[in-house]
């Protein structure tokens, strides 16, 4: 993984939006104890930078954001976690019930 980027390269930045002390009092206790953080992906505006530098990026919708460069050429790694057992059979059960009442038999 590269640690240096040039203008126009796809990168990811990080910012601490609010420290724990700055967070609202009405949040759950475990939430108040950690900072509110932001990670944003976009195209590097600066001529060049290395991981750890403060940089400016432009997002795909044209928003300009400053933050610490944390990744060059980041991918997308996300999922929806482990599915709740109760939801795994819902589609099959719904189709069976719809068939029972004659829905979709046209």
With bands split at pLDDT 50, 70 and 90, how would you rate the model's confidence at 89? confident
Rounded to 5 degrees, φ, ψ at 66 are: -105, 150
pLDDT confidence of residue 106: 59
Mean pLDDT (whole number) for 57-61: 96
CB atoms < 10 A from the CB of 57, how many? 24
By DSSP bridging, strand 48-50 and strand 4-6 are: antiparallel
Mean pLDDT (whole number) for 45-59: 98
Higher pLDDT, 53 or 78: 53
Beta strands in 1-106 (DSSP E): 4-6, 10-18, 36-44, 48-50, 54-58, 64-72
77 pLDDT above the threshold of 90: no
Q: What is the pTM of this model?
A: 0.71
């Amino acid at each position: 993984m590269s640690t240096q980027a040039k203008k126009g390269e796809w990168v990811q930045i990080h910012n601490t939006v609010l420290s724990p002390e700055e967070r609202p009092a009405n949040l759950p206790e475990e939430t108040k104890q950690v900072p509110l953080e932001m990670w944003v992906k976009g195209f590097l505006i600066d001529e060049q930078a290395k991981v750890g530098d403060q940089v400016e990026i432009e997002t795909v919708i044209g928003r300009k954001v400053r933050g610490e460069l944390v990744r060059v050429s980041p991918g997308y790694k996300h999922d929806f976690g482990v599915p709740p057992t109760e939801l795994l059979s819902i589609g099959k059960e719904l189709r069976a019930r719809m068939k029972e009442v004659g829905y979709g038999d046209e």
